[in-house]
A and B are shown apart, each in its own frame.
Chain A
Amino acid sequence: MTSSPAPHNPAPRPSPQQISEWITRHSDLLWRYAIARVRRAEIAEEVVQETFLAALQSAKDPNQPAFEARAGASGSTWLVGILRHKIADYYRRRARDRAGPGAPAAAGSPAAAAPLAPLAPGDALYDKMFTPKGLWQKAQKALIPDPAPDSVASRAFSDRDDFIRDLEDCAARLPEPIWEAFVLREALGVESDAICQQQGITPTNLWQRLHRARALLRDCLSGKGWFSGRPRSQTPGSSKPEGR
């Protein structure tokens, strides 16, 4: 006579206090991860809440590790993984809402996101960077890329906390469709073809958005004194070059 399989024991439910402590332990990390990638507080709250809810549901599943096993400090990696998907879902939903009711718009279709005009003469950013013939403006050629690796004056910009702080300020000002392409690519590491499919845009349109994002960021950082070649204060927290 074969024995029947042992019944699944339901996972013990976490107590309200355990839940509160769990949220207190992880909410700061999830919040800062979310706010850096969605910009708006109400959206950050929505995706963080969805993350905790999904994690709680998973903890109820007897086939998954128990709540206690994931509620500690090491559980943050797991939660960030869920949050990453929630943020990607958010951007997918936005693209779908822009396309209108029905199936996601095919790239290039009229219902897809409006293609961005390429940088061209007449565009303020283009005219600042290039002459009408497409050559670098004199002021742009005077900019420097980065201190030389062996420079005693400064270390690489990308190592400096004040450069990163200014980059964050500049990124916060990017227009919405350009910001979306930038964050999907740079923050969430989504591959180009996946972004195109999700957003309903062509590869050319995506490259135009990313090109414009980077040009805008570079322009904004130049306005804050970076790339100018003038000496800057080495004190962390200083975001203005000396003499300005």
Chain B
Amino acid sequence: MAAILDMLKVLSQPCEKHAEWFSRALDDPLPPGIRWGLKVHRVYCKGCKVYERQLQALRTAARALFAATEVPPAASSAAQAAGTTATAAPASGSRPRAATCTCPHDVRERITRRLHEAA
């Protein structure tokens, strides 16, 4: 009964509430009634159907973005696909990509000095 009430509540809400729920669904399971309501709503609302798929694309791409920074340089297919090397300078005005940047020389020197002191 509570689930049906939830579903009716969802169906009576405007799309801006649905957008919130689509985002929330990426992080925590939604109650069944809300899930059903969103499913029904998506059938006839193109804006919401599109938004949900855009959020899924963002989630997949964000995971790929961070995963590319977890592999050693030789295994980074992102670096190879982009045709960049670890020492290539970024194009003028663009941010260096985390997946292909290298530890700055002065940073490495400071860390090395600190570890020699600690060893």
- Within 8 Å by CB of B15, from A16, A130, A221, lies A130
Chain A, interface residues (CB within 8 Å), range? 35 or more
> Which of A14, A44, A76, A141 touches B47 (beta carbons < 8 Å)?
A141
Q: Does A126 sit within 8 A of B, measured CB to CB? A: yes
Query: Which of B19, B60, B95, B97 counts the most chain A CB atoms within 10 A?
Result: B19
Which one, A37, A49, A134, A164, contacts B61 given CB within 8 A? Answer: A164
> What's the minimum C-beta distance from A122 to chain B, rounded to whole angstroms?
13
Report the Cα distance A169→B51, complex, angstroms: 21
Take A19-B116, A27-B103 as given contacts and tell me if A163 and B61 are in contact as well, using a CB distance cutoff of 8 Å. yes
- Once A126-B16, A134-B15 are accepted as A-B contacts, the answer to whether A140 and B47 lie under 8 Å apart by CB is yes
The answer to whether B65 touches A19, judged by C-beta atoms less than 8 angstroms apart, is no
Interface 1/0 per residue, B79-114 and A, CB below 8 Å? 001110010000000110111111110011011101
CB-defined contacts of B51 to chain A, threshold 8 Å: 136, 140, 145, 218
B61 touches A145 (CB 8 A): no
B44 smallest CB distance to A (angstroms): 13
B73 and A167 within 8 A (CB): no
Cβ of A141: which chain B residues have Cβ within 8 Å of it? Answer: 46-47, 50
A203 to chain B minimum Cβ distance, whole angstroms, is 8
CB of B57 within 8 Å of the partner chain: yes
Chain A: CB-nearest residue to B86: A28
Q: Are A56 and B119 in contact (CB under 8 A)?
A: yes
A92 at the interface (CB under 8 A from B): no
Q: Map CB proximity to A onto B16-45 as digits: 1 under 8 Å, 0 otherwise.
A: 110110011011100000000000000001
Structural contact, B55 and A33, CB atoms closer than 8 A: no
Q: In this assembly, does A32 line the interface, its C-beta being within 8 Å of a C-beta of chain B? A: yes
CB-based contact A45/B112 at 8 Å: no
A16 & B116 in contact (Cβ 8 Å cutoff): yes
Whether B47 and A207, one on each chain, are in contact in the complex, defined by CB atoms closer than 8 angstroms, is: no
- Verify A185–B23 contact, CB threshold 8 A: no
Q: Flag whether A70 is at the interface (Cβ < 8 A).
A: no
Q: How far, in Å, is B3 (CB) from chain A's closest CB?
A: 20
Residues of A within 8 A of B50 (CB): 141, 143-145
Minimal beta-carbon separation of A166 from chain B (angstroms):
9
Check B57 against A145 for contact (C-beta < 8 Å): yes
Q: List 8 interface pairs A-B (beta carbons < 8 Å), by A numbering.
A: A28-B73, A35-B101, A36-B69, A56-B119, A141-B47, A163-B61, A217-B58, A236-B81
